[in-house]
């Protein structure tokens, strides 16, 4: 292995050693190392086949009902693991894009004292799509307790005038790191560019009624992988629902089917 490859592996291992329960800052630093193709190289353990072969299959393990593919962080850890089958060297972004859609995470150095560290599929999605684009988990989600009736009234009024909007939901999101914020779940009939632009304009007009210092974000209810959208679908009733008001969409039958 080249000196640069050794340094890359060393960066992930250094960050891994810092992770302890409750140290979300250290865990985020580990995710950043994995997300960098220059430092996020890992050795995936293959249960079947060899690297690059059509029948190659990662190992698997289950922890607390979640699926993970075991891996190690360097050739030294590979030797220490006692793994005698094949392996495949990949970057963190590549394995994240491959595994998160099937709700699989990775488990780093499961042979190590203490059992290693698991990266659940939700965090692989953050690595695949951009760590700064999504809040750091685990998230605490709840119904918003803050009273901002002017904002909700204006947003509801503007949504009624925006035909792409089917319904709106809301949640109070507390990331593991960073400030809490109000999330607005957008359920749309149509996600074409024109509709998305109209919804963006709707939000820009509405946030004028938000008190200073209150962060507001949006989430697409159609996103099957977003933890906030998943919580909203399961726990939050719409505070605006076009169809409940008896107003049909402009293009009935177009876009997403109604949820039953």
Domains of the chain: which residue ranges?
A: 3-133, 140-245
Query: Quick one: pLDDT at residue 6?
Result: 45
Q: Is the pLDDT of residue 109 over 70?
A: yes
Q: Which residue has the tokens 């998305």?
A: 196
Model confidence at 5, in pLDDT bands (50, 70, 90)?
very low
Task: State whether residue 220 is helix, strand or coil.
Answer: strand
pTM assigned to the model: 0.79
Residue with the larger pLDDT of the pair 70 and 132: 70
In three-state secondary structure terms, 78 is helix
Residue 100 and residue 125 in contact, taking contact as beta carbons nearer than 8 Å: yes
Measured CA to CA in angstroms, residue 161 lies from 2, 71, 158, 164 at distances of 60, 51, 5, 9
Q: What is the CATH number of domain 140-245?
A: 3.30.70
Is CATH 3.30.70.20 what the domain over 3-133 is classified as, yes or no? no
Q: Which residue has the higher pLDDT, 199 or 251?
A: 199
Could you identify the residue written with the tokens 């006692």?
82
Three-state SS for 106?
A: strand
Task: Grade residue 80 by pLDDT with cuts at 50, 70 and 90.
Answer: very high
Q: What CA–CA distance (Å, rounded) separates 178 from 201?
A: 27
Average pLDDT of the residues in 131-141: 88
Query: Which positions ≥6 away from 174 have C-beta within 8 Å?
Result: 139, 140, 141, 180
pLDDT digits (tens, 9 = 90+) for 24-57: 999 999 999 999 988 889 999 999 888 888 888 9
140-245 and 3-133 share a CATH fold: no
Residue 42 CA to chain centroid, in angstroms? Answer: 20
Q: How far apart are CA 218 and CA 225, in angstroms?
A: 15
Residue written as token pair 């989430």: 219
CA atoms of 204 and 139, how far apart (whole Å):
26
Contact 221, 233 (CB under 8 A): yes
CA–CA distance, 33 with 127 (Å, rounded to integer): 10
How far apart (Å, rounded) are the C-alpha atoms in residues 6 and 4?
Answer: 5
- What percentage of the chain exceeds 90 in pLDDT? 74
Position 157 confidence tier, pLDDT thresholds 50, 70, 90: very high
* Residue 247 pLDDT: 52
Instruction: Find all residues with CB under 8 Å of 218, minimum gap 6, and list them.
Output: 183, 184, 185, 186, 203
Band the pLDDT of 191: cuts 50, 70, 90. confident
User: How many angstroms separate the most distant Cα atoms in the chain?
Assistant: 66
Distances (CA, A) of 98 to 87, 94, 127, 177: 16, 6, 11, 26
Least confident of 6-10, 42-46, 101-105: 6-10
What is the average per-residue pLDDT within 95-123?
A: 95
């Amino acid at each position: 292995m080249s000196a640069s490859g050794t340094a890359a592996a060393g960066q992930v291992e250094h960050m891994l050693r810092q992770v302890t329960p409750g140290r979300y800052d250290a865990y985020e630093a580990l995710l950043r190392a994995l997300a960098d193709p220059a430092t996020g190289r890992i050795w995936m353990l293959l249960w079947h086949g060899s690297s690059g072969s059509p029948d190659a299959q990662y190992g698997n393990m289950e922890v607390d009902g979640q699926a993970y593919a075991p891996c190690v962080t360097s050739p030294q850890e590979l030797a220490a693991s006692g793994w005698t089958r094949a392996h495949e060297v990949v970057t963190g972004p590549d394995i994240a894009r491959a595994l998160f859609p099937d709700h699989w995470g990775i488990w780093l150095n499961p042979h190590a004292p203490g059992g290693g560290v698991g990266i659940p599929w939700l965090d692989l999605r953050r690595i695949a799509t951009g760590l700064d684009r999504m809040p750091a988990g685990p998230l605490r989600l709840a119904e918003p307790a803050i009273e901002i009736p002017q904002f909700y009234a204006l947003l509801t009024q503007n949504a009624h005038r925006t035909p792409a909007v089917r319904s709106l939901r809301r949640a109070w999101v507390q990331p593991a790191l960073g400030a809490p914020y109000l999330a607005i779940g957008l359920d749309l009939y149509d996600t074409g560019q024109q509709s998305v632009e109209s919804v963006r304009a709707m939000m820009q007009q509405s946030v004028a009624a938000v008190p200073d210092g209150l962060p507001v974000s949006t989430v697409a209810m159609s996103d099957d992988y977003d933890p906030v959208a998943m919580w909203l679908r399961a726990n939050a009733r719409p505070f605006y629902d076009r169809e409940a008001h008896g107003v049909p969409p402009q293009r009935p039958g177009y876009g997403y089917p109604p949820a039953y």
